[in-house]
Structure 1
Amino acid sequence: MTVAELMKDRTINQAAEGEVTADDYVFAIDISDDKRAEVDDYVVVQEHTVSVNASFSPDTTESQYIRSGKSTTKTGTQETYSISGDRYVGDPAQDFLLSYKMIYARGEDARIPYVRFNILNGKGVKGIGTVIVNSDSSGDAGSNSTFDVEIRKSGANPQEFQYVPKTTGGSTGGEGSTETPGGTEETQSRTMKKVVKEQI
């Protein structure tokens, strides 16, 4: 399932208020070869997924100053998404994350774009993460086969993200419509030239 398919019958309210459940968060990944897919084409991590837990680990340094005591300086934050569930063959997200390619990927090959946002107000983050497969096909006899994957922030901090559904004008998720009222600039230019010619 893609983000566009998940969101097609849902309405984003940026001013939404109220309690939030774990099911109200969308986590999706870019599985395209060039890693340049539009957010609406990202695949959603959902099928037979038990949890997608976001955790944050701060980096700090400690300094002792004269007559001031000890001081803690925060130098960064590592973000990790822990994904676990039951194996479902045929799900695009699982098949990609648990593929031979990703299990043994190194360096840049293990890095993928991801997005996480609230399904109610569309607010979230968009970044790059490194895929780490901890286990696949785990479980006892007669039980479901389970998996455990982590996606850890790689490089710069993720950017703030606002999901905006696709419109008839062809805008992409997160970018909004850029179509000029009354048509595109090219269409308006042709119309203006026609009017001027008729007046002459």
Structure 2
Amino acid sequence: MKLSELMAGKTPSADYEGWVTADDWVLAIDTAARGDTETKVSDYEVVQMGVEGLDAQLNPVTSEKTYIRAGQSTQKTGAARSFAVTGDRYVGDPAQDYMLSHSIKYGTGNGVVVNYVYFCFLNGVGEKGQVSVIVNSDGGGNAGESSSVDIQLSKIGAEPEEYTYSAEEGI
């Protein structure tokens, strides 16, 4: 499902205040073939079909030092964003089909890098960046059970930019 389809008729409220559930977060990736033209964010594919778990981690990077008379000190030097996508395989979902394609499963380097947006459905606030798609499991399980998938999306390159979803995007 394209981001524009998911957000059709929905307008996040910048003034939203209240509880947020896991279902209120949107992760969408650019599955278009790389070329000279940039894909509109509204055409990104939403990562949701068959997904049971979307674990968004910031993975802080720290430096530990010990100073005379001051003792041990920890300084944050960065953050390495990652998403763990787990769930059941659904053939026909554009996001899963892309991430589990032969060229991505066995690809390396820039061949597995995709653009993404991640934001709260309720207020539209989030981030935009690039991740490497790392497939840990492309299906498996016990007899009679759904085939499970385990995909990791890990930040690559520059720090993600602040991003706020807008209904006018891509029009």
TM range (shorter): over 0.9
Deviation, 1:156, is 1.1
CA distance in 1 between partners of 2:40 and 2:138 (Å): 29
SS at match of 2:129: strand
**Residues 164, 172 of structure 1: 8 Å contact kept:** no
Runs of 4+ in 1 over 4 A off after TM superposition: none
Q: What secondary structure, in the 3-state scheme, does the structure 2 residue paired with 1:37 have?
A: coil
2:170 counterpart of 1:172: yes
Deviation at 1:66, TM superposition (A): 2.3
Which runs of structure 2 are paired with 1:45-124 in the superposition (5 Å)?
Answer: 45-124=47-126
RMSD: 1.3
1:29-53, Cα deviation, whole Å (9 max, x unpaired): 0001127211100000111111111
Partner of 1:181: none
Distance 1:68 1:95 in 2: 54
Question: Does 2:7 match 1:7?
Answer: yes
Please tell me whether the aligned partners of residues 25 and 119 of structure 1 are also in contact (alpha carbons under 8 angstroms). Answer: yes
Q: 1:4-56 CA deviation, whole Å, 9 max, x = no partner?
A: 00001112211111111111110000001127211100000111111111012
Flag the structure with more relative contact order, 1 or 2, with Cα contacts below 8 A and sequence separation at least 6: 2
Identity over aligned pairs, percent? 45
Mapped partners of 2:90, 2:116: distance in 1: 21
Kindly report which structure 2 residues correspond to 1:119-198, keeping only aligned pairs within 5 A, or say none: 119-166=121-168, 171-172=169-170
The CA distance in 2 between the partners of 1:62 and 1:112, in whole Å, is 32
Residues 55-79 of structure 1 show CA distances to partners (whole Å, capped at 9, x for unaligned) of 1211111222222222112111111
Contact in 2 for aligned 1:29/1:45 (Cα 8 Å): yes
Q: Which range moves more in the overlay, 76-85 or 34-43?
A: 34-43
Give the aligned length.
Answer: 169
Paired letter, 1:172: G
Which entry has the higher C-alpha Rg, 1 or 2? 1
Equivalent residue for 2:31? 31
Deviation string 1:144-180 (CA, Å, 9 cap, x unpaired) is 01100000000111111000012xxxx528xxxxxxx
Q: Deviations over 1:52-111 (max 9, x none)?
A: 110121111122222222211211111110001111111100000001010011000011
SS at match of 2:61: strand
Q: Work out the CA distance in 2 between the residues paired with 1:49 and 1:68.
A: 47
Q: CA-to-partner distance for each residue in 1:92-140, whole Å, 9 max, x for gaps? A: 0000000101001100001100110011110001000000000012111
